[in-house]
Each structure stands twice: as C-alpha cells, then as structure tokens.
Structure 1
Amino acid sequence: MAKTTTPQEQRAVGPQSIGFDYQFYYFMYLSLKLKHGQKIGYEVKDDIHIDKEDGSTILLQAKHSTVEKADGSIQNLTTMDLDMWKSLNNWALFINSAESKSDFLGSHSFILVTNKSENNNEFISSLAQFNEDLDVNTIIEKIKSLEKSTTSKTLQGYINNILKIGKRSLIVFFLKLSIETGVDAGQTHHKLT
C-alpha cells in the first residue's frame, strides 16, 4: 500500500534543500569574516569563492550530508565518496581548460568543506602524506589504484580527469588543496587568510 502524505509533509524541506542551506550559511559566515580588500561570491566561480586582496582566489565546494550512521553521527567521507571526487573533478576541469595551467594554479587554491567525518579516507591520508614528503608519484599511484578498484564509470571518469592535470601541475594542485571534514556551517577554515 502506498504511503499517503499530508500537504504539510509534501511542502516540507527535503534533505537536498539542507545542502543548499549549508552552502548559503557557510557563505554568510565567510562574508562576515572578510578582510579589507577581499570580495566573496556565491555560485559564481564555484559554490563559494573569495577573491583576495593579492589577486588570488579561493574556490570552495561546500558539501552537506544528512545520512547518519547507526550511532546517529553523520556518515564518513569515504575514500570513494562521490561528492569528494565530483569536487576534485570540477576543479580538474577548471585547471585543464585554463589557457595556462600554471597561471591558474598560481592564482587559485581549493577547499572542500563538508560536515561528513573523516575516517580512514585513503585519498585524504595520501594527500596528508604528500604534504609531508612531496612525493607526487605515490599519491598518483594511489589515485590510479582507486580508479582501478571501482566499477563506477562516473568515479572512473572523475579520477581520469584529475590525472589529466599532469604530474607537474598535480604537485601544485595538491599543495593548494585542502579537505576539511566535520565542519558545521558556522565554523571557519584556517586557510582562508
């Protein structure tokens, strides 16, 4: 038997709307933290962007989840999380379509902000290791192994686009990439300054 819903339930805000709210509240919070000479944009260059006084731009992707684990906490940002790879893919598309990859990377940094928890995410661990040892070959090999381990054509396409950035440009991209997990919309990011 089909479940009937009341008019109020039909008009209720769904989980997808919460994601838009999260993004907007994070935008508003960042707007209040702007420094003199900085400009912020919403859904212009990315979910959110900040043009800094030195001419550089911070591109932010804000991803929210309402999916809970058995204990009631928000799900983890897994190694094969579609939102994470989609964000990285979007930035890869920007980089790969730029007239000059080095100029684009020189003037942009990339931040993925999510309320999801981080627990044993192999890509995030590889990124942290890269930031310590600057061994780009190790992180590239990890990404290639992740591409081979999935049957998802969508994820394979995203990962392939990221690898198309090229080794030299990936070094810069990974140095300028930050993934912040467990962030409520009212929290700030340490790399925004």
Structure 2
Amino acid sequence: MNNGKSFSELTSADKKEVGFHYQYYYFLYRLLNLKSGQSVGLEVKDDVHTELDNDTQILFQLKHTVQKNAADFAVALAELDNDLWKTLHNWAKIISDESVGRKHGHEQIAFIAKTEFHLVTNKSESHKNNFLKNLECYKFGSVSSGELKSYIETLYRKTQNSHLKNYIKVVLTLEDKVFQLFMSKIYLEQSVEDLHSLIKKSIREKMVANSKVDIVFERLDSNIRTDNYFKIKQGQKVEVDFDSFYSRYRNIFSASREPLQLGKPFKPAYPDDVFSQVFIKQLIAIKAMKDDDVEKAYEYTLKKLKITRFLEDWLQSGELVSDEIIEFHGDVKNKWQNGFEHWCQDCLDHEAISKAKSLLYDLRQIEFTIASSKLNTELSNGEIYHLSDERIIGWHRDWEDI
C-alpha cells in the first residue's frame, strides 16, 4: 500500500532520516531513565547501549519502518524480516569480534553473560512469526536449542534472498554453547511507535508539572542535540553517565517549576490580643511602632499570618517540600545575622534603638527567595515578623531579653 506515492518518494532519504530520529529519541528516552552509576551511549557499542551499575550492559538495535498495513499501522515483524535477521547478524558479529579479543567460545560466552540484546522496533507483532514463538519457547524451556537451531536452518533453506541467507548463516555459525546463551539473552520490544509520549511520561515522572512537560522536552531536545553535535565534531563518543546528565541538565528541570502563587485569597484569623505577640513587643521596644497603634499592629500581623499560612499551603499542595522551607528560614536568619552584626552587636547604649531601626529598615527592603520563587515585599516582611515572633531573630541589641 503506497498511499499514492511514487517509487522515488517511497525510496527517498526521508526514511533514513526518520530512522535516525527514531534512534536518537530512543537514546533520549533511555537517558531520562538513567540511575546513579549507569550510562547510555549513542552509536558507540550499538545503535544505543546502556551500561548498568552491576557490570552488565544492554545493547539496543533500533529498527523503524514507514511501511503501513491496510489498517494504517506499521507493518508486522515477519519471520524472514530483513531487519530482524540483520540485527541478529550484527549481534553475532559483535559477539565473535576477534579485534576486541573474542575469538574463542569462552571469551564470547563471558561477553554474552554480561549482555542483554534488545531489538526495538515500531513494527507490530505477527502471529505468523514462528521463529519468535520458537525463541520464546526455548527461553521457557519447552523447545531445545537443537530444535531452535534446526528451525533456523529451515528458514535458511527457505529464503532465496542472498542477504538474508548471509545474515542467518552468521548466526548459525556461532558455537553451540555460544548460540544457546545468545538466544536466551535476546529481547524484543515491538510496536514502540510514539517515543515522544514515552519521553514526556519520563519527564513528568521527574515531578515536572503537566503544563511544563513540553517546555522541558523542547529544551532537553535542543540542548542534547547540540551537545551531541559538538561531541561528534570533536571526535568524541556520545556517551553520558548519570552524574554528567544530572550536572549538565538539572537546571532545565528545576527551572520548569511553576512559580508560587503569591496573590491567593486569604482570610486571617487574628489573635485575641495582637499586642501580646512577641514580634509586636519587639517593634514597640525599638520605637518602630507606637504601643497603641492598632492599625499597624493588625497590618503587621496580617503579613505574619499570611506567610505562615502560605508556607503551610504550599507544603501540603506539594509546591514546596520541607527542606526548602527550612532552607528559606535559614537564609533569612543568615541575612539577619549579617545585618545584626553590622548594626547592633557592638553599638553603644544610646545607639541601640537607632541601630535596631536601621537593621529593620534594611531587612524590610529585601524580597526573599524560596525555591527559585521571589516573594513580594508583603510576604518577605511577614517572614521577618514570623521569625521575630518565634524568638529566632530580633532588632534591639538586647532583643533576647525583650
């Protein structure tokens, strides 16, 4: 079924381009699923490969087709499919590669023992593919290696395609013990079509908000493609380990966080006596407000209540985690400590109040940041009132006695 396309269109380089992108996006998918101690490579040991942290590796051969069946799905992986046997041929060649010291059977067995072989394709499963049925039966023990090999020999005799005959012959020439172990380590991933969706799912699983998944995907795609280009241009291998991936691209994920909503509706529950609050007493002690200024007492209390409620809401909704809030409080305290040492620590008695007001003024000008979100002045001021109310910071030189 050619959908009205000419022969030239059907055999154009576009199909190769699609295959290249298929390979690259599978590499990106594996990259997003790396764990500590693992690495993934593109066209190094195979189309794609993964080094695991237990001295094992997975070799991936990627095969993509643009051919469609009558239902407009990718064609099935046939028993004598060129992609199937070319893949097995390539792996057999890798296993028996004398140039890297795998001339003899025991060397080949040692290599296979630490390797899995995965064929990944968008081609669908075929109920007529008896070779794959026999392969699965062999892996489950209901078909012997001799029976499996005998079936492959019938396929060799059956095909008239010289390329297929060569591919199958190379597989059959593996020593019996090598052949047996190799067949047990072959895995197929069929109907793998929508790699974009798999990649986006992996991004979302890294705690990226749904609204930011596409942005993260686009930035990762662009940056990794560029980095790969420069590596290839400089003659380097495209191989990335977990630590390198984390250090180079983690900011793409952290920058994707939704900014905290600062203008949410808020109904305060004021204390019965706003003037009994520690932070109000501290403000009165340095003459930053009068002891009968009800309006300011409620204004400052509103700011304190607002930041404490918002922090709790953000924690419960998952927009923040506990250590980010702890770090936020610690950063504000450190800024206060620096200011306190400058203005108040060694001031004279007659300067204590003026210096305390200077410290308070400086801190009121700062818009603090929590988890890459910048707070507004209202919430930032509320935070210093909150810490003051908790007796964590103060303004007067002798604030701990107030």
**If the length of structure 2 is used for normalisation, what is the TM-score?**
0.43
Match among 111, 121, 130 for residue 129 of structure 2: 121
Q: Which amino acid aligns with 2:80?
A: M
CA–CA separation in structure 2 for the residues paired with 1:64 and 1:56: 26
Structure 2: 5+ residue stretches without partners: 1-5, 200-402
2:188 is aligned to: 179
Whole-angstrom CA distance in 2 between matches of 1:179 and 1:165? 21
**Cα deviations by residue, 1:111-135 (Å, 9 ceiling, x for unpaired):** 0000001112122111111011151
State the AA in 2 paired with 1:17.
E
> Alignment partner of 1:151: what SS?
coil
Say which SS state the counterpart of residue 24 (structure 1) adopts. Answer: helix
Residue matched to 1:79? 79
Which residue of the partner structure matches residue 64 of structure 1?
64
User: Which residue number corresponds to residue 166 of structure 1?
Assistant: 175
Decide which moves more: 142-151 or 171-180: 171-180
The structure in which a higher percent of residues are strand is 1
Q: Distance in 1 between matches of 2:18 and 2:51?
A: 26
Decide which structure has the larger Cα Rg and report it: 2
**Contact preservation (8 Å) 1:48, 1:59:** yes
Separation in 2 of the partners of 1:107 and 1:62?
20
The TM-score with structure 1 as length reference comes to 0.87
Alignment partners' CA distance in 2, 1:44 and 1:13: 23
**What is the identity, as a one-letter code, of the residue corresponding to 2:114?**
S
The match for 2:26 is: 26
Matched positions, count: 179
Counterpart for residue 117 of structure 2: 110
| Structure 1 residue 42: Cα displacement | 0.1
- The structure with higher relative contact order (CA 8 Å, sep 6+) is 1
Q: Please show how residues 48-63 of structure 1 align to structure 2 within 5 Å.
A: 48-63=48-63
Change (3 A) 1:28 1:159: same
Are 1:143 and 2:148 an aligned pair? Answer: no
1:6 alignment counterpart: none
Cα offset for 1:13? 7.4
Gaps of 5+ in 1: 4-8, 189-193
Identity of aligned residues (%): 34
Bigger helix share: 2
The residue number in structure 1 matching 2:89 is 89
Q: Which runs of 4+ in 1 moved over 2 A?
A: 184-188
Return the offset for 1:15: 1.9
Contact 1:112–1:179 under 8 Å retained in 2: yes
Residue of structure 1 in register with 2:164 after alignment = 155
CA distance in 2, matches of 1:40, 1:71: 35
Aligned AA (1:131): K
Give secondary structure in 1 for the equivalent of 2:96: helix
Q: Secondary structure at the match of 1:92?
A: helix
